[in-house]
Structure 1
């Protein structure tokens, strides 16, 4: 009887051991599959540029947790059209104070287009010289270093929204756009609705500023859904959508360093605003930002980036 009990125990021990082993192998295979999909997506997203900021004496070190800046470009790029950067958002990240300063630059802002030698709308920099000219122009406008860029194809952004399973945003204006109605309050959006939600501008009394608020709502909604546990089951479609629609000069290792060393800052995003006025010059509408306002923006962002200037 005792030997029979021992045999049964050994049998159940073997069965339990096999089940655990199968689970470990399955989890390991799943983890490898996620890792492989991620590295493939990042490889596709990576777009190096030959550029050095003259506002930094040496490159920022993400391993040493130094503050850094990112220019987020939302490019409305359709078939046969290079597009313009209708969304320009500067993110200044400081892990020491665990915060991110987020500044949306109105697309009609009048400034020097660095590398072109003209005064024009700031969003034209991308049409003239891609990411590099956009970075140089924004860097000159704010007088701070721009370390990295992330470019999102807004036409394909709907794929990213659909990949995370849709998003929920807080809408502060009742309006209709693109055949959809968006009431005030919490609104759930799929990809097509999200694209229409971000594109409305003319019926908003705040103009481009209202549009910027909606764009930030979309970006934060994607970040929330992308970080949720349920997204683990959708990782392949998420990575595929990112690979198809996002380009950045950040490398895989730099992304890992940011995830490891800066994740505390992501929970504290402070939105900055630009104060200026609209006017027409030679029949063209521009947004004019006074020098004193540019200095104020510079001082706040320079302090965030810990630049002594």
Structure 2
């Protein structure tokens, strides 16, 4: 069974920067500013607070023992993320891994998740940039094990399991054993992975699974932002060093941390790239609906609504 639940990692990443940075600001920098207000008024933090409001980055989910050195592996999931530090709005766009597109340096169109094989996260960023016609330079690569670590770190996540979930695949990598009962419950890290990896049984198939994943995201975000999790910040830092690779500069992350109070699960919007599956020969592809894609990308990511340079 393929791992398609990496969209949940966005929450872990952004919340990490918000809580960690916000905690540093409130307990260290702010305290220092009270002692020396003149110095604070010209500080590094002040400059960050007046920087650009938006950040857009590509989330890449991979299966690798060392996420920082991962090569020659396909991405399991791609998600484009945009966050605004002033309004607290967050837009998430899932890009199906089988999306048929042009990849720089390749003769024929291929699945977009192949880009990481040929050129790592940098080429993946270029592929999405070309496909959607947007400005994009930042990426975040994550290993799926961060979900288990992070959920345990925040003391579990309260979710509603919509049905009995039972599935076994001992030859999967890692082996897959799912056994959950229907109802409201607190999932630890291991059970959270089971919940996210379960596919069979949803009445509306993929849409039902996506909805369940989105509810999980909201639950993780709400739990992580609780004041009681401040004590877990040191372990959060270690977890991210182990399981996250990003080219987002520290000062850029910090400017969002300074506005942690603005972010809320209610301000998160999610969508999937419009299109449909299609077999070409014996290969299954996701074919983008370019007209609908242009509309969606303009709404979610592009301030200049006249831009229409979606890949032709």
Q: Normalization by structure 1: what TM-score?
A: 0.69
Q: Structure 1: state its 5+ residue gaps.
A: 1-32, 38-60
Aligned match of 1:105: 95
Aligned match of 1:121: 111
Aligned match of 2:234: 236
* Alignment equivalent of 1:74, drawn from 48, 61, 64: 61
Rg larger in 1 or in 2? 1
Aligned match of 2:37: none
CA RMSD for the aligned pairs?
A: 3.4
> Given that residues 157 and 188 in structure 2 are in contact (C-alpha distance below 8 angstroms), is that contact kept between their aligned partners in structure 1?
yes
Matches within 5 A, 1:138-149: 138-149=128-139
Aligned match of 1:299: 298
Q: 1:273 to 1:34 in 2, by over 3 A?
A: closer
Cα offsets for 1:65-107 (capped at 9, x unmatched): 3322111112122589854222211112234554222111111
Aligned match of 1:290: 289
Aligned match of 1:227: 225
Cα offsets for 1:242-301 (capped at 9, x unmatched): 211011112222211112247525551111233321111121111111221222223213
Inter-partner Cα distance in structure 1 for 2:154 and 2:97: 28
Return 136-145 or 187-196, whichever deviates more.
187-196
Matches within 5 A, 1:1-309: 63-78=50-65, 83-95=73-85, 97-172=87-162, 174-177=164-167, 178-201=176-199, 204=202, 209-261=207-259, 264-267=262-265, 268-304=267-303
> Given that residues 199 and 211 in structure 1 are in contact (C-alpha distance below 8 angstroms), is that contact kept between their aligned partners in structure 2?
no
> Given that residues 49 and 258 in structure 2 are in contact (C-alpha distance below 8 angstroms), is that contact kept between their aligned partners in structure 1?
no
> Given that residues 87 and 262 in structure 2 are in contact (C-alpha distance below 8 angstroms), is that contact kept between their aligned partners in structure 1?
no
Partner SS state of residue 229, structure 2: helix
Partner SS state of residue 113, structure 1: coil
Q: 1:225 to 1:98 in 2, by over 3 A?
A: closer
Inter-partner Cα distance in structure 2 for 1:168 and 1:209: 21
Q: 1:150 to 1:34 in 2, by over 3 A?
A: closer
Partner SS state of residue 79, structure 2: strand
Partner SS state of residue 159, structure 1: helix
Inter-partner Cα distance in structure 1 for 2:71 and 2:302: 39
Q: Normalization by structure 2: what TM-score?
A: 0.68
Q: Once the 2 structures are TM-superposed, how far is the Cα of residue 34 of structure 1 from its aligned partner?
A: 10
> Given that residues 169 and 188 in structure 1 are in contact (C-alpha distance below 8 angstroms), is that contact kept between their aligned partners in structure 2?
yes
Q: Structure 2: state its 5+ residue gaps.
A: 1-19, 25-47, 168-175
